[in-house]
Amino acid sequence: MRDGTDERDCVIALDVGGTSMKAALLDRDLKALHTVRRATPRRWGPDAVIAEIVAVLRDLERNASTREFTVRGAGVVVPGIVDEDTRTAVYSANLGWRDLPLAAFLEATSGLPVALGHDVRAGGIAECRLGAARGAQDVWFVPIGTGISAAVFCDGRPVRARGYAGELGHVVVEPGGEPCACGARGCLETVASAHAVASAYSARSGRQADGAAAVAAMLAQGDPDARAVWDRAVEALAAALTTATTLFAPEVVVLGGGLAEAGGLLLDPLRVALARRLTFQRRPELVLAELGDMAGCLGAGLAAWQAAGSGASPQHPPRTLPVTAS
């Protein structure tokens, strides 16, 4: 027994992505007792996604029961615009819902208390508590994958703005440029997302690129088309981060997602490009995320424990969670 919390207590943490769901039973030390990965059935519509979320919650609660653990609650984080105050999934283009009272629905169907959050903000909270931004107060967490978003922290607190804050991917970096899914043109996502980098390389070279990682590999081999596409993406990221730095003065910018897996191929030129643009601003430290694709899940676990009235207290910050089930 610690601080009134039974050692056999746990929470469910669920990170719902556009492609896959990552979930875990987490004890108070954020140790994974059991983990699950499943495909997100978004092509079958929002009702199918919600049904799968409920199924995962029930499966994990049953697993906890067989282990003689008690589930104190669940943390569920989703993409799009999320209003934590009203516990509403306001909008998600990928998952097809709008103004959905998701937390209340999940509580009614699962019987569990549910803390609803935003996937990127949850990942940012985990990186601040457990990962690359430990000890920092002013942080931007920027995952660069199929899209680009950001979690913003000022003076140690997340900036939410009813769920609308942090849409870095929709800062216009090329006015009049490529059309974006949001309806604007020249957004950062159209230039520097992993999808945009791969698509731009294929269009420029006439050779199909299987994702941004393939472009990074060709860049390392000296491919001139890969160099042109990569340099354009780096300059776009530097332009957007210059705006972020001027307005919010982060001390640390944590880069995650698929594009950040390129490591120094991204970080080194981005540091140079950002430094070239900054004058009087506080210069942020650019670092790579440490928690990998489990950051959102760990952030969901932190939210669940907080909602249960017993904060998580990891003895050793986890870097990854093993997959023990599918």
Residue 325 confidence class, pLDDT cut points 50, 70, 90 = very low
Task: Give the predicted TM-score (pTM) of the model.
Answer: 0.88
In a domain, 226, yes or no: yes
Both 109 and 186 in one domain: the answer is no
Residue 113 confidence class, pLDDT cut points 50, 70, 90 = very high
Percent of the residues in the chain that have a pLDDT greater than 70, as a whole number: 94
Both 259 and 175 in one domain: the answer is yes
In a domain, 321, yes or no: no
Both 101 and 152 in one domain: the answer is no
In a domain, 320, yes or no: no
Both 184 and 85 in one domain: the answer is no
Give Cα 35 distance to the centre of its chain: 18
Q: How many domains does the chain have?
A: 2
Strand partners of residue 39: 20
Q: Do the beta carbons of residue 59 and residue 67 sit within 8 Å?
A: no
Both 278 and 157 in one domain: the answer is yes
Amino acid (1-letter code) at residue 105 = F
Average pLDDT, the chain: 91
Q: Of 10-24, 241-255, 270-284, where does mean pLDDT reach its minimum?
A: 10-24
Both 148 and 270 in one domain: the answer is yes
Residue 314's pLDDT is what? 66
Half-sphere exposure of 301 (CA within 13 A, CB side): 33
Query: Residue 153 and residue 250: Cα distance in Å, rounded?
Result: 8
In a domain, 124, yes or no: no
Please state the rounded mean pLDDT for residues 152-166.
92
Both 79 and 156 in one domain: the answer is no
Q: Name the residue range of residue 211's domain.
A: 132-288
pLDDT tens digits, residue range 33-46?
999 999 999 899 99
Both 109 and 137 in one domain: the answer is no
Looking at 137-193, list the stretches that DSSP marks H as alpha helix, in order from N- to C-terminal side. 189-192
Domain holding 264: CATH number?
Answer: 3.30.420.40
Percent of the residues in the chain that have a pLDDT greater than 90, as a whole number: 79
pLDDT tens digits, residue range 249-306?
999 999 998 889 899 999 999 999 999 999 999 999 999 999 988 899 999 999 999 9
Both 65 and 144 in one domain: the answer is no
- The Cα angle at residue 43 between residues 257 and 301, in degrees rounded to 5: 45
Both 80 and 143 in one domain: the answer is no
Both 25 and 149 in one domain: the answer is no
Both 114 and 162 in one domain: the answer is no
Element (H, E) at 107: helix 102-110
Query: Residue 112 and residue 103: Cα distance in Å, rounded?
Result: 10
